[in-house]
A and B are shown apart, each in its own frame.
Chain A
Amino acid sequence: MDVVQEVLEKHRKELDKYKPITVEKHLECRLDVGTLLITDPNDLDDRQIASAEKENYLRALTRDNTQLLVNAIWELNTERVDESIVAKLPEPTTVLPRMRKPPGPRVLTKWEKFAKEKGITKKKKEKKTYDEVLDKWVPTYGFKRAEAEQNKDWVLEVPQNVDPNTDMFQKKMDLRNEKVAKNEIQRMKNIVRAKKIEMPRSGYLGPEAATSSQLLTAVTVAKSSTASVGKFQNKLPKEREARGLGVKELIPGAKRKQSHIADQPEKEANLDLIKSVLNKKPKLDVEKAISLQKQDERLARDAESGNKPAKKSSKKGKGSRKAVGKKPKGNRGQRAPGKKAAAGRKRR
């Protein structure tokens, strides 16, 4: 008996160590077992919170509420799986807010966007097509397509205008590779576009890749990237400035219009300019020199022949007229004044 008593006592004592599993609440708590959520609508005890017992109070409160939740869980159907008891939680009733915004639809690639705009729809291609050269069905794309291609183009013609030593197979391969590379670049660009990442519009892309306008832009930007916004950079003769969309934005300070009006009075500045223009060293003009030479010679000849020239000239005038024997042109003489051949034919 004693033993029984003792055991019971012990058990009771043990039980006393634990708090009871029943919890009393003034207001019922809301439970959402699906998300293991319990919401306690009861007010906190202000005095307890204010006192030193705050931590204990909160801990006790938390335990109670947790107990309620565990109680609710135990009410669910349980089963034993591998030494552990498992309960199936019901569907959560509380709607939780998302941390991130939901992803939008996939951003269209450039082609897809274009196709959508233009109303271009993809045409389904047959998986196999009949090749007349090979006289069999070959895959349109993919596995064994390349093999088929190889079989088909076992020989390639070298066009007439091309160096006969060129490897046309290599060329074909290059073309293909280029296509692939281009496709890859476009794919990348599409990704960049989809992620809305800023990409440099300009930059040195290498002599092979850059277009002339890109190069021009790079030069312009580089030149203006000085402390004085390129004011003191020398210009090459006939140098062009990059223009167009976005160039100005690349140049720091270019939006600010700098006045081209100097301190010098306009008139003097103009006169100076005129002086510089007029004093330009004449470049050696061979044509002019020759024509001058010719003229001199002619004058000398005229001088030599003495009084002949007059006679000669008159004769010449008449003779030439006769010799040329201009046909009546019927007002069409001027049709193609630039065309020399026509003039020759006319005199036939």
Chain B
Amino acid sequence: MKRLSEERTKILFEKLSKYIGTNVKQLIDRADGTYCFREHRDRVYYVSERILKLSECFSQKQFACVGTCFGKFSKTNKLKLHITALSFIAPYAQYKVWVKPSFEQQFLYGNHIPKSGLGRITENAAQYQGVVVYSMNDLPLGFGVLARSTTDCKSADPLTTVCFHQSDIGEYIRAEDSLF
């Protein structure tokens, strides 16, 4: 359990800001206490300082996890956001994509979203904008990046991919071993 280096913190914030933009600030500047990011075995955890202190009694080896895991740094110092971060990304998301109920299940199996599966989309989203994917009844399903800007989407043909899949809640089952 250690503090992230400045470089890594920066990478983390850059990554987060792709999805939630200026709302990144909300994660740090919270009214209900100090929250911070910690690194444990290359994974980034987001946790209240109060809980963090209590967790320090465990040895590095026996300690498993605290708070919420946001993602994992690769060996090349790239951050991969995990689906577990969704509960903090979804409320702050600026750009959203809704998938049709018929496509929900396919998305949960890790497929990209084609135009035909697209239910709704936030206006003015640019290409490669990070988005949070919702089901039509506003259940956050995962996140990804737009393959087309919103305007392009409208004219795209139904089979073209609109949104690249990055992570979905199906990973809780599919990737339970590698997730934590």
A positions within 8 Å CB-CB of B: 260-262, 266-267, 269-271, 273-274, 276-278, 285, 287-288, 291-292, 294-295, 298, 324, 326, 333-334, 337-338, 340, 343, 346
- Taking a contact as CB atoms closer than 8 A, the residue among A271, A333, A343, A346 that contacts B25 in the complex is A271
Q: Say whether A291 contacts B149, CB under 8 Å.
A: yes
A sample of 29 cross-chain residue pairs with beta-carbon separation below 8 angstroms, ordered by A number, consists of A260-B3, A262-B6, A266-B3, A270-B13, A270-B28, A270-B36, A270-B37, A273-B9, A273-B10, A274-B24, A274-B28, A277-B13, A277-B14, A277-B24, A278-B25, A287-B127, A287-B149, A288-B126, A291-B127, A291-B152, A294-B151, A295-B150, A333-B159, A334-B114, A334-B159, A337-B112, A337-B161, A338-B112, A343-B157
**Given A266-B3, A324-B158, A343-B159; A271-B29 close (CB under 8 Å):** yes
Task: Give complex CA distance A324, B152 in Å.
Answer: 18
Partner of A278, one of B22, B114, B157: B22
Residues of A within 8 A of B157 (CB): 324, 343
| B residues apposed to A, CB below 8 Å | 3, 5-6, 9-10, 13-14, 17, 21-22, 24-25, 28-29, 34, 36-37, 106, 111-112, 114, 116, 124, 126-127, 149-152, 157-161
CA distance A274 to B3 in the complex (A): 16
Q: A277-B24, A343-B159, A346-B159 are in contact. Are A288 and B127 (CB under 8 A)?
A: yes
**Given contact pairs A285-B126, A346-B159, A273 touches B13 in the complex (Cβ within 8 A):** yes
Smallest CB separation, B36 vs chain A (Å): 6
B126 lies within 8 A of A334 (CB)? no
Contacts of A324 in B (CB 8 A): 157-158
List chain B residues, Cβ under 8 A from A346.
159
A340 to B149, CA, bound (A): 18
B153–chain A nearest beta-carbon distance, Å: 10
Taking CB atoms, residues of chain B closer than 8 Å to A266 are 3, 36
Residues of A within 8 A of B14 (CB): 277
Hey, which chain B residues are within 8 Å of A287, CB to CB? 126-127, 149
Complex Cα–Cα for A102 and B142 (A): 73
A263 vs chain B, min Cβ distance (A): 13
**B residues in contact with A298, CB < 8 Å:** 151
How far is A260 from B116 in the complex, measured between Cα atoms in Å? 49
- CB closest chain-A residue, reference B76: A240
CA distance A277 to B27 in the complex (A): 14
Q: Known contacts A266-B3, A287-B149, A291-B149: does B158 contact A278 (CB below 8 Å)?
A: no
CB < 8 Å neighbour of B6 from A260, A274, A291 = A260
Closest to B15 in A: A277
The answer to whether B17 touches A278, judged by C-beta atoms less than 8 angstroms apart, is yes
Instruction: Give every chain A residue within 8 A of B25 (Cβ-Cβ).
Output: 271, 274, 278
Within 8 Å CB of B161, what residues of A? 337-338
Please indicate which of the listed interface residues A269, A274, A278, A346 has the most CB atoms of chain B within 10 Å of its own CB: A274
Nearest 9 A-B pairs (CB), nearest first? A291-B149, A260-B5, A343-B159, A288-B126, A295-B151, A277-B13, A270-B28, A291-B151, A337-B161
Q: A271-B29, A277-B17 are in contact. Are A337 and B159 (CB under 8 A)?
A: yes
Q: What residues of chain B lie closer than 8 Å to A295, measured between beta carbons?
A: 124, 150-151
